[in-house]
Amino acid sequence: MSLPKKVQLVEVGPRDGLQNEAQPVPTNVKIELIHRLQDAGLNSIQSTAFVSPKWVPQMADNAQVLAGITKKPGVSYPVLVPNRKGLDAAMAAGCDEIVVFGAATEAFSKKNTNCTIAEGVARFGEVCDEALKHGIKVRGDMSVCLGCPYEGEVSAAAVARLAREFDRIGCQQITICDTIGTGTAGKTRAAIEAVAKYIAIDRLAVHVHDTYGQAIANIYAALECGITIFDSSVAGLGGCPYAKGATGNVATEDVLYLLDGLGIDTGVDMKKLIAAGDYICGVLNRPTYSRAAKAIAAKMAA
Ligand code: HMG
Ligand code: MG
């Protein structure tokens, strides 16, 4: 089985990692984290979300975060956008890439975005048209592809159906997301294979949470399928406020350890990445969730 030689890591810590944080995280801390992540070599950093502050108060400083970044050439700063209001605000703040987000199940769609799957797709269609007209890249994230907290099992056919809708409305990249981390390697493969019947593999990304400790195995299965774009969160921070019990994303340090070990190029520097994780964990006053970061720190201390 041949694995890709190069992979893009999309860092979602500043958005997915912090959106669920109960304590307020100052805007300057979010900006500093983004700066440290880009210095570590990450070239796509999901920076914030232009969602309703009533729904996700932690992302209320979205415009200040985006405007406060000292942008580095070659780095993109995607932001989540749920509707036209969010797109207008994101464009005013100078966004270069947006992420629309739907769900493979009706119940999750309702909980996360207060609309049906079809209503969401119609809303995103308008958002995509407008963004593409302005030269802004569009990605579509598909939640609960490998299990739903409200509906349980999710069929690969339901995932493929949503992917085709996202393709139809103009999403250039489409992400298979395991929102609550219930996926296994077999389920990951089945979802990717179902979607890849319709969408070229180089347009697909994978976003996994690590609730059941399966994230690295699922990423390896995705690599074997030919996926070359993976989301991860520094120090393993995060979780969706509308997916109770789900823990953070897979830690970027752990994914990098896997990829470095396989000789797959990412352009990311482990030491600087761990330092970025230490920074945010220090501010949040908690230990890292990354196994690799813990092990490397212990080895360096010895
Ligand atoms: P709604 O309540 O149906 O919308 O929410 P509405 O149009 O009735 O608006 C309600 C209020 O919010 C109004 O304010 C709007 O103006 C305002 P009021 O008139 O009451 O003062 N509003 C906004 N304000 C700022 N920016 C906006 C915006 N839109 C409306 N864009 C809505 C519908 C979609 C807005 C809401 O459900 C929402 O914001 N949902 C987002 C939830 C969210 O952010 N979830 C976490 C991110 S997704 C995730 O983590 C999964 C992912 O990681 C992948 C995975 O792991 O699965 C991506
Ligand atoms: Mg997520």
What are the tens digits of pLDDT across the range 202-221? 999 999 999 999 999 999 99
Integer angstrom CA distances of residue 16 from 75, 153, 245, 281: 18, 23, 15, 15
Mean pLDDT of the residues in the chain: 96
**Rounded-to-integer distance, Cα 126 and Cα 109, Å:** 18
Tokens at residue 267, please? Answer: 């352009």
pLDDT at 245: 72
CATH, residue 61: 3.20.20.70
Nearest 5 degrees, angle CA 69-CA 70-CA 72?
A: 115
Q: Are 192 and 225 in contact (CB under 8 A)?
A: yes
Whose alpha carbon is nearest atom 10 of ligand 1? 52
Ligand located closest to 20 CA: 1
Angstrom CA distances, 167 to 57, 88, 128, 162, stand at 30, 22, 11, 9
A 10 A CB-CB count for 228 gives 18
User: Which SS3 state, helix, strand or coil, does residue 144 take?
Assistant: coil
pLDDT tens string 120-176: 999 999 999 999 999 999 999 999 999 999 999 999 999 999 999 999 999 999 999
Task: Say if 246 falls within a structural domain.
Answer: yes
Helix (H) or strand (E) holding 102: strand 97-103
Overall number of domains in the chain: 1
Supply the range of the domain harboring residue 44. 8-301
28 lines ligand 1 (CB under 6 A): no
Look at residue 109 and tell me if it is in a domain. yes
Residue 83 CB less than 6 A away from ligand 1: yes
Distance from the CA of 249 to the center of ligand 2, in angstroms?
A: 6
| Residues belonging to the active site | 240
